Homo-oligomer: A and B are copies of this chain.
Amino acid sequence: MKHTITFLPDNVTAVVNHGETLLGAAARAGVYVHACCGGDGVCGKCKVLVNKGEVRSDKANLKQEDWDKGYRLACRSAVESDMEVTIPELTTKGGRALKRKPKTTRTVSAKALDSLVGKWQVDPPVSKIYLELPPPTIEDNIADMQRVMRGIRQHFPEDHHREPYYDLPELIKYLPRTLRDADWKVTLLLLRGRNQGDTFRIIDIEAGDTTSRLYGLAVDIGTTTCSGVLIDLHSGEVLAESSGYNGQISFGEDVISRIIYAGRPGGLKALQAKVIGTINAIIEDICRQVVISPSDIAYMMAAGNTVMSHLLLGLDPKYLREAPYVPSVSEFPLTKAADLGLRTHPSTRLFLYPCVASYVGGDIVSGVHACQMAKSDKVSLFIDIGTNGEIVVGGKDWLVCAACSAGPAFEGGGIQYGMRATAGAIEKFQIHPETLEPMLVTVGQTKPSGICGSGLIAIVAELLENKVIDQQGKFRHDLDTPRVRSGSSGWEYVLAWEHNSMIGEDIILTEVDIDNLMRAKGAMYAGYQTLLESVGLSFADLEQVILAGNFGAYLDLEQAICIGLLPDIDREHFYYLGNASMLGCQISMTDMSRFREREGVRQLMTNMELSENPQFMQHYMAALFLPHTDMRLFPSIGRKLAGE
* Residues of A in contact with B (beta carbons under 8 Å apart): 136-138, 140-147, 162-163, 165-166, 168-169, 172-173, 175-177, 195, 313-316, 318-319, 323-333, 335, 339, 355, 357-358, 607, 609, 612
Give chain B residues whose Cβ lies under 8 Å from the Cβ of A169. Answer: 313-315, 335, 339
Of the candidates B138, B172, B339, which one forms a contact with A315 in the assembled complex, judged by CB atoms under 8 Å apart? Answer: B172
Give chain B residues whose Cβ lies under 8 Å from the Cβ of A141. Answer: 324-326, 357-358, 607, 609
| Contact indicator B332/A176 (Cβ below 8 Å) | no
Give chain B residues whose Cβ lies under 8 Å from the Cβ of A612. Answer: 138
Q: A333 with B142: in contact, given A172-B315, A314-B173, A324-B136 (CB under 8 Å)?
A: no
Complex CA gap A176/B358 in Å reads 14
| Contact indicator A333/B195 (Cβ below 8 Å) | no
Give chain B residues whose Cβ lies under 8 Å from the Cβ of A146. Answer: 329-331
Chain B residue, CB-CB nearest to A147: B326
| Contact indicator A172/B328 (Cβ below 8 Å) | yes
Give chain B residues whose Cβ lies under 8 Å from the Cβ of A318. Answer: 176
| Contact indicator A328/B142 (Cβ below 8 Å) | no
Give chain B residues whose Cβ lies under 8 Å from the Cβ of A136. Answer: 324, 326
Complex CA gap A358/B333 in Å reads 36
Complex CA gap A143/B325 in Å reads 9
Could you say how many copies of this chain the assembly holds? 2
| Contact indicator B176/A319 (Cβ below 8 Å) | yes
Give chain B residues whose Cβ lies under 8 Å from the Cβ of A330. Answer: 142-143, 145-146
| Contact indicator A175/B144 (Cβ below 8 Å) | no
**From DSSP, what is the main secondary structure of chain A's interface residues?**
loop
7 more A-B contacts (CB under 8 A) besides A141-B609, A177-B316?
A136-B324, A144-B326, A144-B327, A145-B331, A165-B333, A168-B335, A169-B335
Give chain B residues whose Cβ lies under 8 Å from the Cβ of A140. Answer: 324
> What are 26 of the A-B contact pairs (CB < 8 Å)?
A136-B326, A137-B324, A138-B612, A141-B325, A141-B609, A142-B326, A142-B357, A143-B327, A143-B329, A143-B330, A143-B331, A143-B355, A144-B329, A145-B330, A145-B331, A166-B333, A168-B333, A168-B335, A169-B313, A169-B314, A169-B339, A175-B328, A175-B329, A176-B316, A176-B328, A177-B316
In the complex, which of the residues A325, A327, A329, A339 has the most CB atoms of chain B within 10 Å of its own CB atom?
A329
Give chain B residues whose Cβ lies under 8 Å from the Cβ of A331. Answer: 143, 145-146, 163
Chain B residue, CB-CB nearest to A314: B169
| Contact indicator A326/B166 (Cβ below 8 Å) | no
